[in-house]
Amino acid sequence: MAHNYDALILGAGAAGLMCAIEAGKRRRRVAVLERAARAGKKILISGGGRCNFTNLHCQPENFISANPHFAKSALARYTPSDFIALVENHSIPYHEKTLGQLFCDRSARDITDMLESECRAAKVDVFLNTTIQEVRHGTEFTVHAAETEFLAPVLLVATGGLTIPKMGATDFGYQIARKFGIKIRETRAALTPLLLESPDRTTYCDLAGVSTEVIASTDHHAFREAMLITHQGLSGPAILQISSYWNKGEPLYIDLAPDREVFASLRSSSTRNIAACRVAIQLALPNRFATRWLDNHLPQRWTNEDLSRLEQKLHQWTIIPAGTEGFDKAEVTLGGVDTDELSSKTMESHKVRGLFFIGEVVDVTGHLGGFNFQWAWASGAAAGRAL
Ligand SMILES: Cc1cc2nc3c(=O)[nH]c(=O)nc-3n(C[C@H](O)[C@H](O)[C@H](O)COP(=O)(O)OP(=O)(O)OC[C@H]3O[C@@H](n4cnc5c(N)ncnc54)[C@H](O)[C@@H]3O)c2cc1C
For 345-374, the DSSP string reads TT-BBSSSTTEEE-GGGBS-EEPTTTHHHH
Ligand 1 geometric centre to CA of 191 (Å): 14
- pLDDT, residue 136, reads 96
Taking the C-alpha atoms of residue 228 and residue 154, their distance in angstroms, rounded to an integer, is 45
Distance CA 149, CA 114 (A): 29
The DSSP call for residue 203 is H
Q: What is the pLDDT of residue 235?
A: 98
- State phi, psi for 115 to the nearest 5 degrees: -65, -40
**CA-based nearest residue to 5, from 179, 158, 149, 131:** 149
Q: Indicate if ligand 1 lies below 6 Å from the C-beta of 281.
A: no
Residue 213: what pLDDT? Answer: 98
- Phi first, then psi: give them for residue 270, nearest 5 degrees: -90, -15
Share above pLDDT 90 across residues of the chain, in percent, rounded to a whole number: 94
C-beta 8 within 6 A of ligand 1? no
Quote the pLDDT of residue 84.
98
pLDDT in tens, 96-142: 999 999 999 999 999 999 999 999 999 999 999 999 989 999 999 99
Query: Could you tell me if the CB of 52 is within 6 A of ligand 1?
Result: yes
pLDDT for 166: 87
Q: Which atom of ligand 1 is nearest to the CA of 376?
A: 23
| 262 φ, ψ (degrees, to nearest 5) | -75, -35
Q: Which residue stretches of the chain have pLDDT < 50?
A: none
In terms of phi and psi (left: phi > 0; alpha: psi -120 to 50; beta: otherwise), the region of 242 is: alpha
- Secondary structure class of 334 (helix, strand, coil): strand
Q: Is the CB of 158 under 6 A from ligand 1?
A: yes
| Separation in Å, CA 301 to CA 157, 246, 279 | 63, 35, 17
Give yes or no for a contact between 312 and 348, defined as CB atoms under 8 angstroms apart. Answer: no
Q: How far is CA 96 from CA 61, 367, 368, 370, in A?
A: 20, 17, 14, 11
Q: Does residue 46's CB lie within 6 angstroms of at least one atom of ligand 1?
A: yes
The pLDDT of residue 269:
83
DSSP-derived secondary structure for 230-276: -SSEEESHHHHHHHTT--TT--EEEESSTT--TTHHHHT-S--SHHH
20 lines ligand 1 (CB under 6 A): no
Question: Which residues does residue 195 pair with via DSSP β-bridges, in sequence order?
Answer: 233, 323
Sequence-ordered list of residues with C-beta below 8 angstroms from that of 311, at least 6 positions apart, any chain: 261, 262, 263, 264
